[in-house]
């Protein structure tokens, strides 16, 4: 009894623990008081045991009900999450979407390389591959969305077709090595019997732009002509205009007459000077190049001067630049000055749209406001066309739902 009472007096009712210790010493009370305390303790223990047992059984009942409730919540939450995931997966699989930001200086670009693939250009292949590599690295760091095509100046067999096999390269398709391989392949023939003898870059370019490499509306177009000779395209059957003026007008018509959307660059031979020799500055055709016939009285079949400097003149007319074929020219192709004067109303859809009813278009201003601008779909160009131009900085989302 002493021991039991001593034990009871050591711990407070708050529970067992160091912080609940009341005292570590004990002085026994008088005998009569001890008996009274002992009787009260036994009665309280019996009462506590009954109450505790009943409460415990009730608690088990409540716990069971609570467990069922918690389990129901968990199951319901699981169903909701799975349903949400299913809906999300269904939405993601339901179509493709693209985002466009309306900008006067858009991160979009169309680039067409026009290469002279005649035999002498094989001699400059390694140099061109190196310069193209430098350009492609710069290109990948500037616009977020570009498409690029590579064609030749041949109108005998290639006739403006993109190489290889009509391929359009983008920032997301075609690695650097794959793009450079196209250059290497085109310039690999020491004696190229798969191309014509004449350089007809203007005519080949017009075929490419009207067929496999159609410029996107509102997107700047860059033309890069690489050759060691002059252009001999013959447009006399359709116009009496100077070939440079005629070609420039044709290209501008494809861009709605907007000069700010077109630039041309010419990489070609520059005339020899009294202080330069052929061995010092010529990397492809060594002797009797087209530029060397300037001022010699040599004429073409139509009686016009043999050398007309068409590529360099075109670059000047279309506000581009020119550089010597045998020099480092990639840095001369400036892509930073291409800026729109007016905001675009037409936006090309990346995915081919066979059913316009599947299109969903939304516009959000730069402040987050939803804009309601009427639009139609032009199936001939695969473009969404707005009745009025979305404001600068607006985000345009185009969703093509699945069938």
Q: Give the three-class secondary structure for 213.
A: coil
pLDDT score at 206: 98
Q: Give the three-class secondary structure for 401.
A: strand
Q: Which segments within 195-287 are labelled E, that is strand?
A: 221-226, 262-268
Where are the chain's structural domains? 2-60, 108-332, 343-401
- Rounded to two decimals, the pTM is 0.61
Euclidean distance between CA atoms 201 and 220, whole angstroms:
20
pLDDT score at 253: 94
CA dist 394 → 99, 102, 367, 390 (Å): 10, 5, 9, 6
Q: Is the dihedral of CA 266, 268, 271, 272 positive or negative?
A: positive
HSE, side-chain direction, 13 A CA sphere, residue 326? 17
Instruction: Evaluate whether 324 touches 318 at the Cβ level (below 8 Å).
Output: no
- What b-and-e string marks burial along 214-238, b requiring 16 or more CB atoms within 10 Å of the CB? bbbbbbbbbbbbbbbbbbbbbbeee
Residues 6+ apart with CB under 8 A from 401: 94, 95, 358, 359, 360
Per-residue DSSP letters for 163-205?
A: TTTT--EESSSS-HHHHHHHHHHHT--SS-TTS-SS--HHHHH
- Contacts made by residues 236-245, CB under 8 angstroms, sequence distance 24+: 236/302, 243/202, 243/308, 243/310, 244/308, 244/310, 244/313, 244/314, 244/317, 245/317
**Cα pseudo-dihedral 20, 26, 27, 33, rounded to 10:** 60
Question: CATH homologous superfamily of domain 108-332?
Answer: von Willebrand factor, type A domain (3.40.50.410)
pLDDT score at 196: 63
CA dist 273 → 59, 270, 281, 291, 293 (Å): 105, 9, 10, 12, 14
Helix (H) or strand (E) holding 84: helix 31-93
Taking CA 234 as the corner, what is the angle to CA 291 and CA 184, rounded to the nearest 5 degrees?
60
pLDDT score at 90: 38
pLDDT score at 250: 97
| Mean pLDDT, the chain cut into blocks of 10 residues (403 residues total) | 35 34 42 53 48 47 49 46 41 62 74 89 85 81 77 92 86 73 66 70 97 88 94 95 97 90 92 77 88 93 95 94 89 65 81 89 91 93 91 90 77
pLDDT score at 144: 62
CA dist 127 → 130, 131, 132, 283, 328 (Å): 5, 6, 9, 9, 9
Euclidean distance between CA atoms 287 and 335, whole angstroms:
34
CA dist 332 → 1, 67, 317, 325 (Å): 105, 74, 16, 12
Instruction: Evaluate whether 215 touches 221 at the Cβ level (below 8 Å).
Output: yes
Which residues pair with residue 321 across a beta bridge?
A: 265
Q: Which segments within 32-157 are labelled E, that is strand?
A: 95-101, 108-115, 145-152
pLDDT score at 31: 54
pLDDT score at 403: 67
Phi-psi domain of 359 (left: phi exceeds 0; alpha: psi -120 through 50; beta: other): beta
């Amino acid at each position: 009894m002493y021991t039991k009472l001593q034990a009871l007096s050591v711990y407070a009712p708050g529970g067992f623990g160091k912080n609940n210790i009341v005292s570590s010493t004990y002085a026994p009370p008088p005998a009569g008081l001890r008996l009274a305390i002992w009787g009260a303790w036994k009665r309280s223990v019996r009462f506590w045991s009954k109450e505790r047992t009943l409460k415990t059984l009730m608690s088990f009942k409540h716990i069971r009900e609570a467990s069922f409730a918690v389990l129901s919540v968990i199951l319901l939450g699981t169903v909701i999450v799975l349903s949400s995931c299913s809906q999300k997966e269904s939405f993601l699989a339901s179509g493709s979407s693209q985002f466009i930001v309306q900008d006067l200086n858009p991160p979009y670009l169309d680039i067409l390389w026009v290469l002279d693939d005649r035999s002498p250009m094989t001699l400059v292949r390694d140099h061109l591959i190196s310069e193209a590599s430098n350009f492609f690295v710069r290109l990948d760091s500037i616009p977020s969305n570009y498409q690029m095509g590579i064609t030749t100046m041949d109108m005998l067999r290639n006739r403006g077709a993109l190489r290889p096999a009509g391929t359009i390269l983008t920032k997301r398709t075609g690695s650097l090595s794959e793009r450079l391989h196209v250059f290497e392949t085109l310039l690999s023939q020491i004696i190229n019997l798969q191309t014509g003898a004449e350089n007809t870059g203007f005519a080949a370019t017009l075929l490419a732009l009207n067929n496999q490499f159609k410029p996107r509306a509102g997107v700047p177009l860059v033309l890069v002509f690489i050759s060691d000779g002059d252009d001999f395209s013959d447009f006399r059957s359709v116009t009496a205009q100077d070939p440079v003026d005629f070609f420039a007008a044709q290209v501008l018509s494809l861009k709605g007459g907007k000069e700010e959307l077109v630039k041309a660059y010419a990489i070609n031979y520059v005339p020899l000077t009294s202080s330069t020799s052929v061995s010092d500055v010529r990397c492809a055709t060594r002797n009797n190049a087209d530029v060397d016939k300037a001022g010699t009285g040599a004429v073409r079949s139509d009686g016009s001067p043999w050398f007309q400097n068409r590529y360099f003149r075109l670059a000047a007319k279309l506000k581009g630049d020119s550089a010597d074929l045998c020099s480092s020219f990639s840095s001369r192709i400036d892509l930073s000055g291409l800026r729109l004067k007016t905001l675009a109303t037409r936006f090309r859809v990346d995915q081919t749209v066979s059913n316009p009813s599947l299109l969903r278009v939304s516009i959000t201003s730069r402040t987050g406001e939803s804009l309601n601008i009427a639009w139609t779909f032009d199936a001939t160009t695969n473009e969404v066309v707005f009745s009025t131009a979305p404001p600068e900085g607006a985000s345009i989302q185009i969703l093509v739902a699945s069938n």
